[in-house]
Amino acid sequence: MIPDLWYKNAVIYSFSLDAYLDANGDGTGDLRGAMRRLDYLQGLGVTAVWIAPFQPSPHRDHGYDVADYYGVDSRYGSPGDFVEFVNACHQRGMRVIMDLVVNHCSDQHPWFQAALETPDSPYRDYFIWADEKPEDAEEGVVFPGVQESTWTYSPKAKAWYFHRFYNFQPDLNIANPEVQAEILKIVAFWLQLGVSGFRVDAVPFLIARDGINVCDPSPAYDLLRDIRAMAQWRKGDAVLLAEANIPPEEALNYFGATGDRLHMVFNFPVNQAQFYALASGKTALLKDALRASLPLPETAQWANFLRNHDELDLGRLTEEQRSCVFEQFGPEPEMQLYGRGIRRRLAPMLEGDRARLELAYSLMLTLPGTPVLRYGDEIGMGENLDLNERDAVRTPMQWSSGKNGGFSANDETVRPPIETGPFGFHETNVASQRSEPDSLLNWTERAIRLRKELPEIGRGRCTVLETPESILAVGYEWEGEASVFIHNVAEECVHFELDCLQQKSDKRELVCLQTNVRCEADQSGNYRFEIEPYGYRWFRFGGLDELVHAPGSQH
């Protein structure tokens, strides 16, 4: 067990190297560019960076088609540059989390190329084959409307190979002990180079014992325990963060009943319920999702996010709920993807409304778990819907109003930066917001700083309190500290009473950490609140020893 459970009060920041900063002027971001922005991230309050795949790849799927698990793609730099980047992060008190993409690889990987040569190849059983195309080949596709089948015929191998994702990403045969051994070697290799953990890609597919039965795979949870044991044997504080869009009742299978499998799982059900709350002005679904997420084993933790590098997945909402979110945040067909998601950034979804943006970020920062912030969200970046599929939300970081938003001096960039409109780099960039005291960037920095002063959010016992329809209130207790966080998702002001004393505290006075206003309970033990449209309040019983750095409300 990790003694200090550092990940429980971490602030994770995710970015892809190719879109962050180009140091050598070739139009693609790189490790040296990212190193130049580590002081910026440290100032923002980031404690861990999660970087997208950077290993050698044909880049047909943004690097998730890995062609060499033990290398660094030359467009980003050298292995030496990577080690220097990791060390530079450590010098600033930040850890590095990298993607572990081992449920599939690129069809250009030497393993797959060797498997094509002959059925007798030792790598043939690294993949899943069939002599005839299975009858259910059209079922279980991950990208409806783009992907047609989960099986592709190889004339060279004279057989069909299985792939849950694109046909250039053959699935690895996880049931093969040799493949499992390779996965453990990959984990050990990168831990030796200094990373502190892995965001494990597509975990539900990784642990499918029978890769052919796409509708009802038999999970192989023991592999998660083996990876955990290897990781913590090699590096005591290593963390595994799972991408797994699973219902909360399945979470214990991923964490392990005693917390001996994965450390963290992205809370997709809460994320989808949160967007439904923002779209509908109703919090009942979000309250249910939060209650279903509690409690967890001592070492387990949810990761909370608003947007990530993929589409906003709404697949677990009902058709009526999904339609409500589509109508509010992605009404046009080009804004939607795969029939289940929205390929937009948060700021344009909320029409740049500062009150609603603060509300959304405040929610993410105060929900039970660890916050994960996507690059550019701290300044309210937008999307480019002219780009294909998920690339719409993967545009270059906007550092200034200069050429290409300060991302690159090259005339051509890895993806076009956003130039026009309110979310273009001339209007939305780090340089201009850094100099504005009330900018979203500076608000986010203050909010993160305060969040780090409230360890009970990441470590404490959470209670979802009874509130009116448009109000979410959660309370936390940990080591004698107690706090309450209130959010109003409606466009109307709400007056209500709240019984906060179920939070065990010997202090009856609530102190608002934004305003320093103090609230006393009435004779019945209730507190009276008036929360403005899209308002939020962070309270602590007795306040902080020093009330500084609070994220000031703009409304």
Which residues are part of the catalytic machinery? 201, 243
Say how far apart CA 365 and CA 537 lie, in whole Å.
12
| Residues forming beta bridges with residue 15, ordered by sequence position | 51
Whole-number Å distance between alpha carbons of 9 and 5: 8
**425 vs 371: CA distance, rounded Å:** 26
User: Could you give the angle at which helices 319-329 and 268-280 cross, rounded to 10 degrees?
Assistant: 60
Ramachandran area for residue 520 (φ above 0: left; ψ -120 to 50: alpha; else beta): beta
3-state SS record for 483-545: EEEEEECCCCCEEEEECCCCCCCCCCCEEECCCCCEECCCCCCCEEEEECCCCEEEEEECCCC
Give Cα 252 distance to the centre of its chain. 20
Cβ–Cβ < 8 Å for 346, 364: no
Contact indicator for 313, 272 with CB cutoff of 8 Å:
yes
DSSP 397: P
Residue type, 213: N
Spatial CB neighbours of 540, under 8 Å, sequence gap ≥ 6: 454, 481, 482, 483, 484, 510, 511, 513
* Short-list 276, 327, 138, 314, CA closest to 215: 138
Contact call for residues 128 and 173 (beta carbons, < 8 A): yes
Supply the angle between the helices 354-366 and 268-280 in degrees, to the nearest 10.
150
* Spatial CA neighbour of 86 closest among 97, 71, 76: 97
Task: Supply the DSSP symbol for 491.
Answer: S
E strand residue ranges, 275-390: 301-305, 312-313, 336-337, 341-342, 370-374
Q: Is the peptide bond before 295 cis (omega within 30 degrees of 0)?
A: yes
For 115, what's the count of Cα atoms within 13 Å in the CB-facing half-sphere?
23
Closest of 101, 108, 135, 96 to residue 14, by C-alpha:
96
C-beta separation of 477 from 504 below 8 A: yes
Q: Which residue has the tokens 């190849």?
A: 121
